[in-house]
Amino acid sequence: MKMFTYCVRRRALQMCLQSSHYCNRCALQLNRAHSTQELESESDLTTTLLKLCEDRSFIAPGEAPTRALRRGNACGYGPLGKDLKKNILDQWWNSITRSKAQVFGIDTLQHVRNDAGSLKLVDASAIGQIINDKDLTKNQVVDRLHQLLQNSSPVRTNLLQGALEQCLPSMELVKRKLPFGLAETGTCHQVLDQNKAAIGCSSELTEASLAWFCSPRTSLQWLDHWTQQRLKWWRKFALSPSDFSSSGVVEAELPDGASRGVQVMYRFPWGSEPLETLWNLGESELLKTHGNDRAKLQCKDGRKLVVPHVVAVNGNMDRGLLAYLFNSLQLEKKKVSGKQRLHQRKVLKLHPTLAPIKVALDMGRGATVERRQVCEGLLTEFLDADISVWPGYLETMPQSLEQLHSKYDEMGVLFTVMISEGTLENGLLLVRSRDTTITETMHISEVKAYLQKYISAADNI
């Protein structure tokens, strides 16, 4: 098998005939040298980000969640993290299922019938009963445990297997015309490293998977198509797109059955890690799943009948979420007004489509019942228009404007709307933008349309 790379600069898949596995640029990225100073500031950045994520309800507090996230596993998400993850998954879903008319969504079980992995769900009390039974000999214990394991459900370690199993009814839906795809997002489980498990780490992750069934002669083109589409998608929501790149996978690292592979990588402070993998699996995995029954799997490629080749696209969305958090964190040194002290402004400049909260409603000090009613009216108006709102006006502890803005900046809130005493008289309110830090005066009747326009414009870039 020949080596190949995906070159970011030229945005094309290319065959590598030279001895090195990566083109110069990719190799540079992967082997980026770190000086001691660099390493320190990197770990600072990581600490800062993870602290912010805990403080602002992106992730559940504690040591374990941040460790899990760094390993590319899921962690417990707080309200903001949950919405951010949902927004990322929704965007992934739309980009995959709407790019081509014939991509179907499926929802397979986590308990599978056959899985290459050996992770099984067992009733620990049943095992306990067997091993605590003093009357049983060793052989009897072994026999009973074997039987119990045989009857236990394996759990899925990836989404691909489910898609391969469900491909037959979908073939009927498209009258066996190629290409078509099956998309799914969901939780997968990993074999536990006992040492890690002992210190309370999780080993689950949220995958987003597309199994693309196409004719053998077009499979390489499709691999190229999806590689470009995926890289473009990751970069669409990035503040600094160049941190996302793609690179070919060397033969030794390809999974069983794959003949080619590409990875979309993100440059984390501690090094590059894959966010999404694309494998050209040929026909072997599909045939294996269906007992090598070629006749059952035949589809139409023009007038010829062929067994489809599978291009598998597989994203680790927990790691993707962390990538977007790192990518959007901006640290700005600024002078605190009137004082000589330098203050570090932390802003989570998440893409408007991904930002979990689009607008915060607040009313500053000395709030009255009437102003609260205005806030509640706006809240309902925004929610009805599917604009997510943070009801800051419910908070009774007075905060300075500066404290308020730095809180919302860290939460990645796009706009802060302030209802003042004057709003009750003339209907004017203050709208402050996260990205420009500029505050504009706007009439209350215009705010909703302004926000909608801003968000949908960002969506269509």
- By CB under 8 A, name the one of 91, 95, 152, 218 that touches its own copies: 152
Q: Report the alpha-carbon distance of residue 29 to residue 18 in Å, rounded.
A: 18
Q: Give residue 364's region: left, alpha or beta (phi > 0; psi -120 to 50).
A: left
Q: How far is CA 425 from the centre of its chain?
A: 45
Give the residue from 431, 441, 420, 438 showing the smallest Cα distance to 364. 420
Least distance CB 149 / its own copies (angstroms): 5
**How buried is residue 290: exposed, middle or buried, by Cβ count under 10 Å (0-12/13-18/19+)?**
middle
Our CB check for its own copies shows the closer of 224 and 410 to be 410
Binding residues among 14-73 for its own copies as defined by CB under 8 A: 57, 60-61
Which stretch, 246-254, 332-340, 346-354, 389-397, contacts its own copies (CB under 8 A)?
A: 389-397
Q: Report the alpha-carbon distance of residue 159 to residue 335 in Å, rounded.
A: 50
Our CB check for its own copies shows the closer of 145 and 238 to be 145
Which stretch, 115-123, 224-232, 265-273, 426-434, contacts its own copies (CB under 8 A)?
A: 115-123
Give me the half-sphere count of Cα atoms (radius 13 Å) on the Cβ side of residue 268: 22
Least distance CB 132 / its own copies (angstroms): 8
- By CB under 8 A, name the one of 145, 220, 442, 458 that touches its own copies: 145
Give me the half-sphere count of Cα atoms (radius 13 Å) on the Cβ side of residue 206: 18
| Residues near its own copies (CB under 8 A), total | 80
- By CB under 8 A, name the one of 19, 132, 436, 445 that touches its own copies: 132
**How buried is residue 45: exposed, middle or buried, by Cβ count under 10 Å (0-12/13-18/19+)?**
middle
Least distance CB 204 / its own copies (angstroms): 6
- By CB under 8 A, name the one of 302, 377, 391, 427 that touches its own copies: 391
Binding status of residue 458 toward its own copies by CB under 8 A? no
Tracing tokens 């958090």 back to the chain, one arrives at 325
Our CB check for its own copies shows the closer of 338 and 366 to be 366
Q: Report the alpha-carbon distance of residue 413 to residue 399 in Å, rounded.
A: 17
Q: Report the alpha-carbon distance of residue 416 to residue 419 in Å, rounded.
A: 10
- By CB under 8 A, name the one of 175, 303, 333, 365 that touches its own copies: 175
Least distance CB 225 / its own copies (angstroms): 19
Our CB check for its own copies shows the closer of 168 and 424 to be 168
| Radius of gyration of the CA atoms of the chain, in A | 26
Binding residues among 193-222 for its own copies as defined by CB under 8 A: 194, 197-198, 200, 202-204
Q: Which DSSP category does 235 fall into?
A: H
- By CB under 8 A, name the one of 19, 36, 37, 396 that touches its own copies: 396
Binding status of residue 148 toward its own copies by CB under 8 A? yes
Our CB check for its own copies shows the closer of 167 and 313 to be 167
Least distance CB 443 / its own copies (angstroms): 24
Binding status of residue 155 toward its own copies by CB under 8 A? yes
Our CB check for its own copies shows the closer of 45 and 119 to be 119
Tracing tokens 């198509």 back to the chain, one arrives at 225
**Bridge partners (DSSP) listed for residue 343:** 334
Q: Report the alpha-carbon distance of residue 89 to residue 354 in Å, rounded.
A: 10
- By CB under 8 A, name the one of 12, 28, 116, 142 that touches its own copies: 142
Give the residue from 308, 310, 254, 299 showing the smallest Cα distance to 277. 254
Binding residues among 73-92 for its own copies as defined by CB under 8 A: 74-79, 81-83, 85-86
- By CB under 8 A, name the one of 19, 36, 125, 337 that touches its own copies: 125
Q: Report the alpha-carbon distance of residue 390 to residue 370 in Å, rounded.
A: 19
Q: Report the alpha-carbon distance of residue 459 to residue 457 in Å, rounded.
A: 5
- By CB under 8 A, name the one of 33, 169, 252, 366 that touches its own copies: 169
